[in-house]
Structure 1
Amino acid sequence: MSKATTQQATEQFESMFVAPARSFGALNLDYTEKLVAAQFDAIRALADMGMAQARGWLDVRDADSLKAVVESQQKVGQDMGERLRGDAEKVMSLSQEYVQKSQKLAEDGVKAATTAAK
């Protein structure tokens, strides 16, 4: 096999297998990084809310402070619900973006393979 043929085979292998695999790997890594960051952010926010509520209970001394803590819990419950809804929307958006990008990579891979086969 000549050097030119070997070089051509290497380039075809790179363009048909290695480059698409690298692209999918980068896409998966990027998606995972964004998803983990979103999850850590959500966990941190919910933990902070929970700790603030626990501290509030430590301040209960009389009926008025009890009433204030209970009202605060209702507000925090609403805030947590909104936060969870926003987090779910964020994850859904990330997933949709991932699906679109992976479909594009697959289409590009098919086009490249078709072109190389000709």
Structure 2
Amino acid sequence: MSKATTQQATEQFESAFVAPARSVGALNLDYTEKLVAAQFDAVRALTDMGLSQARSWLDVRDADSLKKVVESQQKASQDMGERLRGDAEKIMSLGQEYVQQSQKIAEDGIKAATSAAK
């Protein structure tokens, strides 16, 4: 086998198998990093909200302060619901982006394999 043929086979193997595998690995790592960051952000925000609300109960001294805390709890519940909805949308968006990029990598891999076979 000549050096040129070996080089060509190596390039074909690289473009048909190694490059797509590397792209999929990078995509998976990037997706996982973004997903974990989104989850940590959500947990941190919800924990902060919960702790803040728990602290507000320590300030209850009379009926007026109780009323303020209850109103604050209602507002916090609405905020938490909006936050959860936003987090769910963010995670869905990450999933859709992942699927689109996966499809592109697959299409590019098929094109590379087809052209290498010719």
Measured against the shorter chain, the TM-score band is over 0.9
Shift of 1:13: 1.0
User: Are 1:33 and 2:33 counterparts?
Assistant: yes
Q: Secondary structure in 1 aligned to 2:61?
A: coil
Deviates more, 1:5-14 or 1:72-81: 5-14
- The answer for unaligned runs of 5 or more in structure 2 is none
Supply the AA of the counterpart residue of 2:55: R
Match of 2:85 in 1: 85
Q: Give the distance between the partners of 2:13 and 2:101, measured in 1 at CA.
A: 22
Runs of 4+ in 1 over 4 A off after TM superposition: none
Q: Deviation per CA, 1:31-56, whole angstroms, max 9, x where unpaired?
A: 11111111111111000000000100
Match of 1:68 in 2: 68
Matched length = 118
Shift of 1:64: 0.9
Match of 1:5 in 2: 5
Shift of 1:7: 1.4
Supply the AA of the counterpart residue of 1:8: Q
Q: Give the distance between the partners of 1:68 and 1:103, measured in 2 at CA.
A: 52
User: Are 1:46 and 2:46 counterparts?
Assistant: yes
Shift of 1:8: 1.4
Q: Secondary structure in 1 aligned to 2:5?
A: helix
Q: Give the distance between the partners of 1:108 and 1:75, measured in 2 at CA.
A: 49
Percent of aligned pairs with the same amino acid: 86
TM-score calculated relative to the size of structure 2: 0.97
Q: Secondary structure in 2 aligned to 1:61?
A: coil
Q: Deviation per CA, 1:41-92, whole angstroms, max 9, x where unpaired?
A: 1111000000000100111111111111111000000000000000000001
